[in-house]
Amino acid sequence: MRTLNAGLAGAKSRIKVARTGISAPRSVRQRLAGPASTPPAAALPLNSIIVGDCLDELARLPPNSIDLVFADPPYNLQLEAALSRPDQSLVDAVDDDWDKFASFSDYDDFTRAWLDAVRKIMKPDATIFVIGSYHNIFRVGSILQDQGFWILNDIVWRKANPMPNFRGRRFTNAHETLIWAAKGVGAKTYRFNYELLKAGNEDCQVRSDWLFPICTGAERLKDASGRKIHPTQKPEALLARIMLAASNPGDLVLDPFFGSGTTGAVAKRLGRNFIGVEREPSYASAAQARIAKIEMLPHEAIATVPSKRSEPRIAFASLVEAGLIQPGETLVDEKRRHAVIVRADGAVSLGAIAGSIHKIGALAQGLPACNGWTFWQFFRDGKYEPIDALRAKARASLREAAE
Amino acid sequence: MRTLNAGLAGAKSRIKVARTGISAPRSVRQRLAGPASTPPAAALPLNSIIVGDCLDELARLPPNSIDLVFADPPYNLQLEAALSRPDQSLVDAVDDDWDKFASFSDYDDFTRAWLDAVRKIMKPDATIFVIGSYHNIFRVGSILQDQGFWILNDIVWRKANPMPNFRGRRFTNAHETLIWAAKGVGAKTYRFNYELLKAGNEDCQVRSDWLFPICTGAERLKDASGRKIHPTQKPEALLARIMLAASNPGDLVLDPFFGSGTTGAVAKRLGRNFIGVEREPSYASAAQARIAKIEMLPHEAIATVPSKRSEPRIAFASLVEAGLIQPGETLVDEKRRHAVIVRADGAVSLGAIAGSIHKIGALAQGLPACNGWTFWQFFRDGKYEPIDALRAKARASLREAAE
DNA sequence: CGCAGACTTGAATCCTCGA
DNA sequence: TTCGAGGATTCAAGTCTGC
């Protein structure tokens, strides 16, 4: 492993890393420690850039430690000749050595290797985002599937301001593709902050096509002479959408191709921990300086929206026990077509048949399933109301009791 | 090969096909015949649906005969359980036998086989569009690349009205992906009607993300009881964009997974010839009836926009010979910074240096290249005009002479 | 200082004919 | 097949310059 060229604090540990000075609040740190089977968070070089080859460095990280992976691997562009604009100015192409592969087969080998290494250190409920273009994304997608990852979505980043097609020989290449995948088919508990995204999208669920401008202006890292430091710096808005969607504050985000450090910058701002691996010391150094300047947003700004799924479960029986509803009361549906009697054991009776609020609701309608909480209504103070209102009351007193 | 169930005319030939009664005008038919090395168009079952297995049937078609391929192969959807909406109604999912594959490896074998068969019958300058979702498109893309196809674009069909994600566990799956590929790296002469597309897009080049509604309403084929005939009928607008972009009237379009026949319907309307292969007689029969009702648009509506590249080349010397411009006249650029003298041989002189209008234009500006036709202007009747106006005059008299 | 217009730039598999 | 030359081709943002 190489070390960074300059200006790195905290480089005394065996693994030499760049500490960027962010520290998660104690409460969220504990979440990171996770179950006893995963190594304690202290063993991880949190919020650091590891300068070195991604395969070597990933292998040194403890298994089952990463919550979210964002990977922006080389695209394997195959450019033959220089391209000039209609005004004869030259396009500054990506012709760096790190994007050169001898063949598709070489690229596939490389992809298999880093995906395998990443998979080992992902927690069972972690997910991964990989970004690419048509040059490489089909290779990446196939290999993800072959390795047992379970694709959740492919996502299209529509560029608001793409480079046009100067020769008029193709459609404007105006998007890049992200693949979002869980560690395996069985991983059903992955994080997806559905309500949070929906709340920020005019109460409409977020689609698989995202519109963002490319990274320009003040956000784009430049050297003293005004040249861009990294040819493919990603916009922070893209990474923010990803982290808000698929991680919580305090989670650990890995970026095996750290580059200019957009992942680290956004992670710090959103109160996530990160680990970045970057081969080029000059990129790592620029990223380190960039991240040092970032400040974490106030906790209120990054708090998660509690999802319905994460609310404590309440049994209808407990409402009866708590006296919120009395045995013998009648429940009806909104259209007053069906009526049931509440039993002392928390079941309801439809004629001679008894069962849960859900089962009986389904039976009454002849449907395979029914949400009894929203289907059944009770009568109080001259009006009908869904029994879900009683559940909300029960939850409120639970919260009070916890304080 | 099986034959269609019912109502098919023209089924007397050895290859039993459904003739749909469209006939290209003679002038465009001749284009189809192509060079002597390719079989005459008469040998092809033009504008027919071949009922049978696509691998068997494609192998019987003559090599180098297809201009454009549109393929909508099985998506290999991996649906585990029935999906119901929040109101408990059941989503009518794709669970047909033709979409069942035992493994990715089986799907890959199938994909390699049909792509190989299709590639053999494509003309050297033909292109192919394949549509898919994240379940299969990465397999298809990798195999296209492995077989030597040259990807020109990946294109995103953004659905204006996608099915929402009912469970709130993923992003709304709001797009499908198309891959557009040429037969090989060397195939530089593929058709792409850049000017036509641009003209229909507010004079702005068309991007790789396309917005279309999914196929609903009157366009959606339904049986007597109102059930949709095919689960994945594609919208005609999508096929129209594809054919307008990558084929000319009279071209031959192949669809190896014909389904409900959208490709045939649009081909007929736009004056293209088609061949469809479909395994299910019921789909083929519905498609045949559908296409029979379509009428071809008037020729004016489907005429190609002539591109500048396809105009006959005119040498500047021929303008001098024709007396459109006199030796000794002075040409200047728009900003009057440079001036050259026209020579009798059709070259121009900048001081002591002589050369073509392009070379001298480039030299004057210190640029690697220059379009002399638009750069240089001549003086006539009190005003300056680009010499391109003289070329237009020469072309006009050429056209007159040809009539 | 504001505004208008000129100039710059971005993950790009980006021409075609004839000798 | 290779080579040389004709000549066709760009959109949205951002920055810079001059008035």
To the nearest whole Å, the CA of A135 is away from the closest chain B CA by 8
Contact residues on chain B for A174, CB-CB shorter than 8 A: 207-209
Residue B360 has pLDDT above 90, yes or no: yes
| Per-residue CA distances from A330 to A324, A343, A382, B7, B8 (Å) | 13, 10, 14, 62, 64
Which letter does DSSP use for residue B271 in this model? T
Q: What is the tens place of the pLDDT at every residue in B120-161? A: 999 999 999 999 999 999 999 999 999 999 999 999 999 999
Q: What is the mean pLDDT of residues A223-247?
A: 96
Q: Which of residues 166-195 of B touch A (CB under 8 A)?
A: 168-175, 177, 179-180, 192, 194-195
User: And the tokens for B210?
Assistant: 């396309």
Residue A238 has pLDDT above 90, yes or no: yes
d(CA A12, CA A148): 38
Residue B303 pLDDT level (bands cut at 50, 70, 90): confident
**Torsion sign across C-alpha atoms B28, B32, B36, B42:** negative
User: And the tokens for A118?
Assistant: 């990443």
pLDDT for the residue B399: 86
The nucleotide minimizing the C1' distance to residue B307's CA is D8
Q: Which residue has the higher pLDDT, A27 or A172?
A: A172
pLDDT for the residue A403: 63
Of A300, A307, A240, A235, nearest to A272 by C-alpha is: A240
Given a contact cutoff of 8 angstroms between Cβ atoms, the answer to whether A346 and A315 are in contact is: yes
In terms of CA atoms, which chain B residue is nearest residue A370? Answer: B88
In terms of CA atoms, which chain A residue is nearest residue B105? Answer: A146
Beta-bridge partner residues of A159: A212
Q: How far is CA A221 from the centre of its chain?
A: 25
Yes or no, beta carbons of B194 and A169 under 8 Å apart:
yes
Beta-bridge partner residues of B207: A172
Q: What is the mean pLDDT of residues B66-77?
A: 93
Q: What is the tens place of the pLDDT at every residue in B167-216? A: 999 999 999 999 999 999 988 999 999 999 999 999 999 999 999 999 99
Beta-bridge partner residues of A181: A128, A151
Is the shortest CB-to-strand distance from A88 to strand D under 7 Å? yes
pLDDT for the residue B80: 63
> How many CA atoms lie within 13 Å of A143's alpha carbon, on the beta-carbon side?
19
Chosen for mutation from B84, B134, B198, B367 (greatest number of chain A CBs closer than 10 Å) is B134
Q: How many Å from the CA of A139 to C1' of C11?
A: 16
Q: Which residue is nearest to nucleotide C11 (CA to C1')?
A: A232
Residue B220 pLDDT level (bands cut at 50, 70, 90): very high
pLDDT for the residue A261: 98
The nucleotide minimizing the C1' distance to residue B362's CA is D7
Q: Is A61 exposed, middle or buried (0-12, 13-18, 19+ CB in 10 A)?
A: buried
Residue B334 has pLDDT above 80, yes or no: yes
Q: Which residue has the higher pLDDT, A136 or B85?
A: A136
Concatenate the DSSP letters of all residues of B173-237 into one string. Answer: --EEEEEEEESSTT-------HHHHHHTTTTS--BSEEEE--S-GGGS-B-TTS-BSSTTPPPHH
- Could you tell me the maximum CA-CA distance found in chain A, to the nearest angstrom? 86
In terms of CA atoms, which chain B residue is nearest residue A135? Answer: B151
Residue B8 has pLDDT above 80, yes or no: no
Q: Which of residues 199-228 of B touch A (CB under 8 A)?
A: 205-209
What b-and-e string marks burial along A111-131, b requiring 16 or more CB atoms within 10 Å of the CB?
beebbebbbebbbeebbbbbb
- Work out the mean pLDDT of chain B and round it to a whole number: 88
pLDDT for the residue A191: 96
B369–A contact, CB cutoff 8 A: yes
Residue A33 has pLDDT above 80, yes or no: no
Yes or no, beta carbons of A172 and B208 under 8 Å apart:
yes
Contact residues on chain A for B151, CB-CB shorter than 8 A: 134-135
The nucleotide minimizing the C1' distance to residue B310's CA is C16
Mean pLDDT check: name the lowest of A177-186, A189-198, A367-376: A367-376
pTM of the full predicted structure?
Answer: 0.85
pLDDT for the residue B186: 86
Residue B42 has pLDDT above 70, yes or no: no
Closest Cβ–Cβ partner in A88, A162, A194 for B367: A88
Q: What is the mean pLDDT of residues B250-278?
A: 98
B361–A contact, CB cutoff 8 A: no
Of B33, B16, B15, B37, nearest to B24 by C-alpha is: B33
3-class DSSP state of A393: helix
Yes or no, beta carbons of A138 and B141 under 8 Å apart:
yes
User: Residue ranges of the alpha helices (H) in A103-184?
Assistant: 104-121, 137-146
Region for B110 from its dihedrals, namely left if φ exceeds 0, alpha if ψ lies in -120 to 50, beta otherwise: alpha
d(CA A25, CA A23): 6
Which letter does DSSP use for residue A387 in this model? T
Closest Cβ–Cβ partner in A155, A171, A365 for B171: A155
Looking at residue B360, its amino acid is I
Residue B30 has pLDDT above 80, yes or no: no
Residue A193 has pLDDT above 60, yes or no: yes
